[in-house]
Amino acid sequence: MTLSYDEILSILPHRPPMLLIDSASALIPGQSVCTQTYIDPEWDIFVGHFPRLALLPGIYLTEIMAQAAGIMLLSLPEHKGCLPILFEVNQMRFLHPVHPGDTLRGEVTLKVASGQMHVCRARAYTGERCVARGELTMAVGAW
């Protein structure tokens, strides 16, 4: 299943400028998703991070992967209207820099679910290069 930006808006509670996912593909609700994000050189964060060599902060990479996990989880009918809360980040590694103008591909798969808690394997790529990887625990509920 493929999702456009407007369809993502109907699933995630995030809104610009915090919505960081442009599209999603290969969605298997509750199991896996692949997302795409264009790293826009106009994002305000690049004014100060860093003026001489703009790099996407690791926390943005983590947030992009968490939003991908949110799409995967909230696409389940039983999670419609819920909030996906990033509960825990484990063993996150930032392997290569991400620059303005790059297109980031996020790949998230569910490892284990127990009640409201969902442990996900997350990876981010530019081209074929893995730039970040780790585990995200997402809490899903009608907080």
CATH of the domain at 38: 3.10.129.10
pLDDT at 12 over 90: yes
Q: Among 89, 103, 91, which Cα is nearest to 136's?
A: 89
Distance of CA 20 to the CA centre of its chain: 7
Model confidence pTM above 0.95: yes
The residue type at 15: R
Active site residue 96: no
pLDDT at 95 over 90: yes
* Segment 97-122 mean pLDDT: 98
Q: Is the bond preceding residue 94 a cis peptide, omega within 30 degrees?
A: no
Q: Among 79, 74, 40, 75, which Cα is nearest to 60's?
A: 40
Catalytic residue among 49, 79, 99, 118: 49
- CA 39 to each of CA 67, 107, 136: distance values in angstroms, whole numbers, following the listed order: 15, 16, 21
Q: What is the pLDDT of residues 68-86, one digit of tens each?
A: 999 999 999 999 999 999 9
Tokens of 43: 């994002």
Tokens of 31: 């199991």
Number of domains in the chain: 1
pLDDT at 143 over 90: no
pLDDT of residue 85: 98
Domain coverage including residue 54? 5-141
